[in-house]
Amino acid sequence: MDKLVINGSRPLHGEVEISGMKNAVLPILYATIIANDVCVIDNVPPIGDIRATLRILVAMGAKVTQLGETSVQIDTRGVRQGTSPDELVATLRGSTYLLGAELARYCRAHVGVSGGCLLGARPIDMHMYGFRKLGAQVHDDGSFVSAEAPNGLHGAKIVFDKVSVGATCNMLLAACTAEGETVIDNAAREPHVVDLAGFLNTCGAQIKGAGTSTIKIKGVPLLHGCHYEVIPDMIEAGTYMAAAAATGGEVTLRGVIPKHMETVTEKLREMGITVVEHNDTDSITVIGKPTFRSARIETQAYPGFPTDMHPQFAALFSIAQGASAITEHVWPNRFRYTEELKKMGAAITVENNCAFFVNVMKLRGARVIATDLRAGAALVIAALAAEGQTEIVSVDNIRRGYVDIVGKLRSLGADIALVEE
């Protein structure tokens, strides 16, 4: 068991390169099944969730060749339907995408129940509704989800009653080889949805409107392999922006898309932090201050404030001047990290889906648990700003989603080490 040991109160300074986006790569990896061919994907972050997903593909018969640290070749011609290993599927939320991918290629799917971060109930009723509209019979017995479309999938109008990234991505996967046209209304507009559509289109799909709330998919009989580069990770970028702000440092993020960061950028500016966007060089500079103002956030689907940035901002709100609040609309129970921040001296009250913060001048080091991926990121930020030494355990939860967080933070001057317990 490893733990992170961080000695805080050191402003971060320097430049950091942002890696490829986990939440874009995951559906793209499953989409390679539909291509039934050889795909080369660049900017794939070497992190736990991606390694586990590649292991699922290999277990299903894919040939995976690492071409470089962040470049992967995947040959899915040997993939056999319904052969995903249940124990791996159960560790990842992204494995839900196997349903859409298997349906598109084989008109049938059989996948164990998926897992992932413990953020409360993670229903898939909207995915099931969409598959049914496309002509599949779907059955969920609590352990496995099975789907079958004996007469093939056919295009349909799918109207979602709320915005779901997962359900939108699964419809892109399932509908790209369905007969006729599919229209998704109230689709998620997240950059990772756009990236999945970009990948599928490069493989020969005909998807229009990704990035808007109406997506049109004209079914094509077959996809083919392609070479594709994944977008940068807006949540990793946001995490380093928050870390720079929390420590009063000055950090330039390289390889980002400033447009994707707008809500985070605006919130930091509202708090008195300087953020400079360099669109010509795909970079952003965050210039922190010794003190900064409180704020309120409400998480929403993109382009609203991302739920995956909420815990990192909770770390900032713990030391902002004045009273702050977070209302969580996507995962109303995503507050387990608050107990850990309180061990570091934060003053937080949680009521239903809201957290209220009263500022404390300084956090202090403590032994805390990374209860999930973004909770872990919040604790790292809090520890970087805190006085004294913090030990963070359950580090695997952080490594699931952050590439070399120790190396990147050290290059910015942080006193951080991964230590075996």
**Active site members:** 117
Task: Give whichever of 288 and 311 is closer to ligand UD1, judged by the CB atom.
Answer: 311
Look at strands 13-17 and 63-68 and give their pairing. Answer: unpaired
* Nearest approach, Cβ of residue 127 and ligand UD1 (Å): 5
Q: Which parts of 161-307 are beta strand (E)?
A: 181-185, 206-208, 214-218, 227-229, 250-254, 274-278, 283-287, 296-298
Under rule CB under 6 A, residue 353 binds ligand UD1: no
The total number of residues shown for the chain amounts to 421
Q: Of 70, 95, 307, 312, which lies in the binding site for ligand UD1, with binding defined by CB under 6 A?
A: 307
State the amino acid at position 309 in one-letter form.
M
Q: Of 124, 136, 241, 346, which lies in the binding site for ligand UD1, with binding defined by CB under 6 A?
A: 124
**Residues that contact ligand UD1, how many (by CB under 6 A):** 21
* Nearest approach, Cβ of residue 100 and ligand UD1 (Å): 12
Q: Of 41, 126, 286, 297, which lies in the binding site for ligand UD1, with binding defined by CB under 6 A?
A: 126
**Region binding ligand UD1 by CB under 6 A among candidate stretches 148-156, 210-218, 257-265, 306-314:** 306-314
Q: Of 72, 74, 163, 286, which lies in the binding site for ligand UD1, with binding defined by CB under 6 A?
A: 163
Q: Of 50, 188, 286, 366, which lies in the binding site for ligand UD1, with binding defined by CB under 6 A?
A: 188
Radius of gyration of the chain (CA): 21
Binding mask 245-284 for ligand UD1 (x = CB under 6 A): ----------------------------------------
Compute the distance between CA of residue 367 and CA of residue 341 in angstroms, rounded to an integer: 10
Whether residue 392 contacts residue 376, with contact meaning beta carbons closer than 8 Å, is answered with yes
The alpha helices in 73-184, defined as continuous H runs, are 86-89, 97-106, 125-133, 165-175
Sites for ligand UD1 among residues 6-45 (CB under 6 A): 23
Task: Give whichever of 240 and 305 is closer to ligand UD1, judged by the CB atom.
Answer: 305
> What angle, 0 to 180 degrees and rounded to 10, lies between the N-to-C axes of helices 165-175 and 191-202?
10
Adjacent-strand bridge partners of 74: 39, 64
Compute the distance between CA of residue 151 and CA of residue 322 in angstroms, rounded to an integer: 61
Task: Give whichever of 303 and 413 is closer to ligand UD1, judged by the CB atom.
Answer: 303
Question: Which residues would be at the binding site for ligand UD1 (CB under 6 A)?
Answer: 23, 93, 122-127, 162-167, 188, 190, 301, 306-308, 330
